[in-house]
Amino acid sequence: MYDSEFEDITAEELKQFIKSQNEKEYLLVDVRQTDEYTKGHIPGSKFIPLNELLSYFSGLPANRDVIFYCHSGGRSLAAASMFSEEGITEKTIYNLEGGMLSWEGRTLKGFPKIQVFDKTKAPEELLLTAMDLEKGAWRFYTYILKNFAVDSIIPTLEQLSKAEIAHARTVYGFWEKASSTPMTFDQLYESLEGEILEGGESLANSLAYLENIEENPCLRILELAIHMEYAAFDLYKTMAEREKDQTLRNSFLSIAQAEKSHMRMLIRALDQCV
């Protein structure tokens, strides 16, 4: 199902929420890795690493609000989205913006702020946005493979890099039909800038952030990649919801499902970061 809903909550809002609510009314879930949790966590939170959470959704309460948090908000965003799709609870699902860093009054220096695309754009423009997103993801994975020696996650990144080009070609087929003056795929793909997400942080700034990571680059690479794949999932889901043609709608839903599988691949790879 693709009618998922969850809400973002700031650190200050969460602190007020905790003060005003009975603990029996909500569950706070930490989806980070073990070493992150042991270094410090929000009091009263339940520790379920994101990879384990994917097979534990049915164990979460259906009669309590659930708040997910991680290091900086990327992994918990995926957790909130996937849990909401399960349709287990009618209560509110939250994602803590900025994660543990925000809770502690800190920010992650240089962390790319991936913004939501403009959902009011015409279908042809959304398709161009989708192709630009795919190229940005391909450039992101290609750069990581060439410049970061994180051997444990190379197979995952190689697989995702190839998948981004395949997705771009699929989207091009839809764009070609909608465009009055279509270019060839190679011409169009070459002309795209390849930003991670239209209206968001540039690929250059995202890579600069990764270059300056001092602690656990493997984990930070995957965290940013999960955030990026979630943006793609959200884009295709929105395109499907807006599309009246059932064949095209089903195609976008299929690509959205593939983007979600990318998130799951990255989540499984988290255990490779030691």
Convert the pLDDT of each residue in 101-110 to its tens digit.
Answer: 999 987 655 5
> Strand, coil or helix: what is 27?
strand
CB 194 within 8 A of CB 132: yes
Pair type for strands 46-47 and 26-30: parallel
CB 167 within 8 A of CB 134: yes
CATH number for the domain spanning 155: value is 1.20.1260.10
The partner residues of 8 in beta bridges, in order of sequence, read: 95
Convert the pLDDT of each residue in 45-87 to its tens digit.
Answer: 999 999 999 889 999 999 999 999 999 888 999 999 999 989 8
CATH number for the domain spanning 55: value is 3.40.250.10
pLDDT confidence of residue 208: 80
Number of domains in the chain: 2
Convert the pLDDT of each residue in 192-227 to its tens digit.
Answer: 988 754 335 677 777 887 888 777 888 888 988 898
175: containing domain = 123-272
* Reported pTM: 0.83
Neighbours of 264 (CB within 10 A): 16
Nearest to 272 by CA among 231, 215, 233, 221: 221
Report the distance separating Cα 206 and Cα 220, nearest Å: 11
Indicate if 51 and 142 belong to the same structural domain. Answer: no
Indicate if 73 and 139 belong to the same structural domain. Answer: no
Indicate if 142 and 51 belong to the same structural domain. Answer: no
Indicate if 47 and 161 belong to the same structural domain. Answer: no
